[in-house]
């Protein structure tokens, strides 16, 4: 039995097929990255996994249960946590208070100090969340996820808008969460520098499907992947 199995998922929006016969298996305790050009269906896939959208066809199995079509709160309760592109934090509360609330909402007795240390915010614990820099807000939101103690974490472009240094620190943070907390992580990302730092299996998505899976070097040197990215760059340059 695999931890997460995505089997032949399809999702159409009107005449547009955003996710097209998408199949992927994720093993427990693994760290995987999903990359691909804008609009290839990455966020839609996360919406299918978390129950925000229902697939038109296909199946999703998590921890041996068929969760296809389940309501989002039931899927969250089963242990799938997701970080959105825009942080959802209480700006007028301190960082520690934000974490306490996240843990309490989920009935967890999380070790808040351990989470603070892991997200590099120990010294900022009593600062209002609204005063944090952009990158730190993203880390706080990862901390809020940890406080809810999911077994699978989905991160959608966690380094969007970050500086190079913040991006590197985020790659380290995600690697440590995966190793030290034994949480399974699936991360969507654009930034190839970040992906290289993650040093994990990559799955390249194109037009709603998995085009290629492999490690960073294999993917970087793959002719089809190069064409995909070069094609997009050329399209942007010509726009």
The footprint of Mg ion (CB under 5 A) covers 42-43
* Residue 205 contacts residue 42 (beta carbons within 8 Å): yes
Closer to Mg ion at the Cβ: 121 or 198? 198
- Pick one of 22, 26, 33, 42: the residue that binds ligand ADP (CB under 6 A): 42
Q: Which residue of this chain has its Cβ atom nearest to Mg ion in the complex?
A: 43
Instruction: Output the CA–CA distances (angstroms, integers) from residue 151 to 93, 174, 208, 222, 231, in the order listed.
Output: 27, 14, 25, 32, 37
Q: Which is nearer to ligand ADP, 19 or 116 (CB)?
A: 19
Nearer to ligand ADP, 124 or 205 (CB): 205
By the rule CB under 6 A, 16 interacts with ligand ADP: yes
In whole angstroms, the minimum distance from the beta carbon of 157 to ligand ADP comes to 8
The reply on whether position 18 binds ligand ADP by CB under 6 A is: yes
**How many CB atoms are closer than 10 A to CB 14?**
5
* 43 touching ligand ADP, by CB under 6 A: yes
CB of 16 to ligand ADP, least distance (A): 6
Q: Is 126 in the site for ligand ADP (CB under 6 A)?
A: no
For residue 217, the minimal CB distance to Mg ion (Å) is: 25
Any contact of residue 152 with ligand ADP (CB under 6 A)? no
Whether residue 32 contacts residue 8, with contact meaning beta carbons closer than 8 Å, is answered with no
Contact partner at residue 151 from ligand ADP, Mg ion, none, CB < 5 to 8 Å by partner kind: none
The answer to whether 162 touches 92, Cβ cutoff 8 Å, is no
What is the helix, strand, coil percentage profile of the chain, to 5? 40, 25, 35
Q: With the CA atoms of 24, 4, 101 and 73 taken in that order, what torsion angle do they form, in degrees rounded to the nearest 10?
A: 100
Instruction: Tell whether residue 39 is a contact of ligand ADP (CB under 6 A).
Output: yes
Q: In this complex, which beta carbon is closest to Mg ion, that of residue 41 or of residue 121? A: 41
In the block, tokens 């996820």 appear at: 145
Chain center to CA of 119 = 16
**158 part of the interface to ligand ADP, by CB under 6 A:** no
Rule CB under 6 A: say whether 41 interacts with ligand ADP: yes
Angle at 228 between CA 152 and CA 170, to 5 degrees: 35
Q: Which helix (H) or strand (E) holds 152?
A: strand 152-156
Out of 6, 24, 40, 146, which residue is the one contacting ligand ADP (CB under 6 A)?
Answer: 40
Binding site for ligand ADP (CB under 6 A): 13, 16, 18, 36, 38-44
């Amino acid at each position: 039995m695999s931890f997460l199995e995505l089997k032949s998922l399809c999702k159409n929006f009107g005449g547009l097929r955003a996710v097209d016969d998408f199949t992927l298996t994720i093993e427990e305790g693994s760290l995987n990255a999903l990359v691909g050009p804008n609009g290839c269906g990455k966020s839609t896939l996360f919406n299918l996994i978390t129950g925000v959208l229902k697939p038109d066809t296909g199946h999703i199995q998590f921890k041996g249960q068929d969760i296809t079509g389940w309501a989002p709160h039931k899927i969250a309760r089963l242990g799938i946590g997701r970080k959105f592109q825009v942080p959802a934090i209480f700006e007028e509360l301190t960082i520690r208070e934000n974490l306490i609330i996240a843990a309490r909402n989920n009935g967890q007795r999380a070790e808040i100090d351990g989470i603070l240390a892991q997200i590099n915010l120990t010294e900022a614990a009593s600062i209002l969340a609204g005063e944090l820099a952009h990158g730190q807000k993203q880390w706080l939101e990862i901390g809020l996820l940890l406080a809810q103690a999911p077994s699978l974490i989905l991160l959608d472009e966690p380094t969007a808008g970050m500086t190079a240094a913040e991006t590197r620190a985020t790659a380290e943070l995600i690697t440590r969460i995966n190793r030290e907390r034994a949480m399974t992580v699936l991360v969507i990302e654009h930034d190839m520098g970040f992906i290289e730092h993650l040093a994990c299996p990559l799955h390249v998505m194109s037009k709603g499907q998995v085009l290629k899976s492999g490690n960073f070097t294999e993917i970087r040197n793959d002719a089809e992947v190069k064409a995909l990215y070069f094609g997009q760059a050329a399209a942007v340059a010509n726009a």
